Amino acid sequence: MRKNKDISLIQALIPLVVMIAVMAVTITVFEGAPHVPLIIGTVTAALVAWNAGFKWKDIEESMYKGIRLALPAVVIIMLVGMIIGSWIGGGVVATMIYYGLQMITPSLFLVTICIICAVVALSIGSSWSTMGTIGVAGMGIGAAMGIPAAMVAGAVISGAYFGDKMSPLSETTNLAAGLTETDLFEHIKHMLYSTVPGLIIALIVYWILGKNFGGGSVTQGEISQTAAVMQENFLISP
């Protein structure tokens, strides 16, 4: 009978390295989906555990535990899809774009949308929900103001990811604290040291980039025309 032995750091890294290598080849060379590399990584992890003396029952229980921990994130992703569909179908996103065009100054738009996404993600604990709703509206507003889509997307993602990491409602933040058996708010407190300076630097960059659009390559008349077209084609209402 073999006894379980401790798995070294090198052994623990083997499944990760194998998965990354296979995924890189699958995506870049074969342009395939990442599902097969994930399965290969799982099989490799099971073989490493088996080699360390763990029985199949123990490995199976560990898999079930991992699935249970990941289920909340899967459910949130499903809900995000429903939220996005209902918000677009109900005119919520169009309404946000319409009023955003009236209120937001082009030169401060990147900074504003980044802060808005950060506050919303912090409140609901989901970066994907924020990007799929507020972010979609922000992309529409930015396009109407003549701001490059890549800049707007960067500002949206920066704010959404900041709020998601700092929120006690976030599934990934709770997952990280739970797996490491760390107090949730202690975990958030230590993330502040790197996340807050990162957001501040990003806001400074967005403010500098936004000054290029202060003069307005898109006139107020064009913005008003875009708003009028939206009012004709969507239900615009508070």
Q: Is residue 127 part of a domain?
A: yes
- Opening angle at CA 24, ends 136 and 7, nearest 5: 110
Averaged pLDDT of the chain: 85
Q: Please report the pLDDT score of residue 121 as a whole number.
A: 87
204-219 mean pLDDT:
77
The CA–CA distances, whole Å, from 133 to 21, 74, 126, 194 equal 34, 18, 11, 27
Cα distance between residue 233 and residue 238, in whole Å: 16
Residue 181 belongs to some domain of the structure = yes
User: Is residue 179 in some structural domain?
Assistant: yes
pLDDT in tens, 157-199: 999 999 999 988 887 888 788 777 788 889 999 999 999 999 9
- Answer yes or no: is 67 within a domain: no
CA gap 99, 16 in Å, rounded: 47
Asked which of 3-17, 55-69, 115-129, 216-230 is least confident by mean pLDDT, the reply is 216-230
Quick check: 102 pLDDT over 80? no
Q: How far is CA 128 from CA 138, 151, 176, in A?
A: 14, 18, 18
Who has greater pLDDT, 98 or 190? 190
H or E element at residue 209: helix 184-210
Residue 238 covered by a domain:
no
Burial string for 132-165 (b: 16+ CB within 10 Å, else e) reads bbbbbbbbbbbebbebeeebbebbbbbbbbbbbb
| 93 assigned to some structural domain | yes
Q: What are phi and psi for residue 104, nearest 5 degrees? A: -90, 135
In tens, the pLDDT along 111-130 reads 989 998 998 888 878 888 88
Question: Which has more pLDDT, 24 or 214?
Answer: 24
Higher-confidence residue of 40 and 146: namely: 40
What's the pLDDT score for residue 128?
A: 84
pLDDT band at 204 (very low <50, low <70, confident <90, very high): very high
Tokens at 116, concatenated: 């808005």
From its phi and psi, is residue 219 left (phi > 0), alpha (psi between -120 and 50) or beta? beta
- Asked whether residue 40 is assigned to any structural domain, the reply reads no
Does residue 216 register a pLDDT over 60?
no
Query: Is the pLDDT confidence value at 218 over 60?
Result: no
The larger pLDDT score, comparing residue 40 to residue 229, is at 40
Closest CA to 160 of 193, 189, 202: 202
Quick one: how far is CA 133 from the chain centroid? 12
**Total structural domains in the chain?**
1
Q: Give me the domain span that covers residue 215.
A: 88-233
Per the model's pLDDT, the better-predicted residue between 192 and 88 turns out to be 192
Over 70: is that where the pLDDT of 219 sits?
no
- CB within 8 A of 82, min separation 6: which ones? none
**Residue 8 above 70 pLDDT?**
yes
Residue 216 lies inside a defined structural domain of this protein = yes
CA 18 distance to own-chain centroid? 25
For the cut 60, the answer to whether the pLDDT of residue 11 exceeds it is yes
| Residue among 65, 83, 110 at smallest CA distance from 203 | 110
- Confidence at residue 10, expressed as pLDDT on a 0 to 100 scale: 92
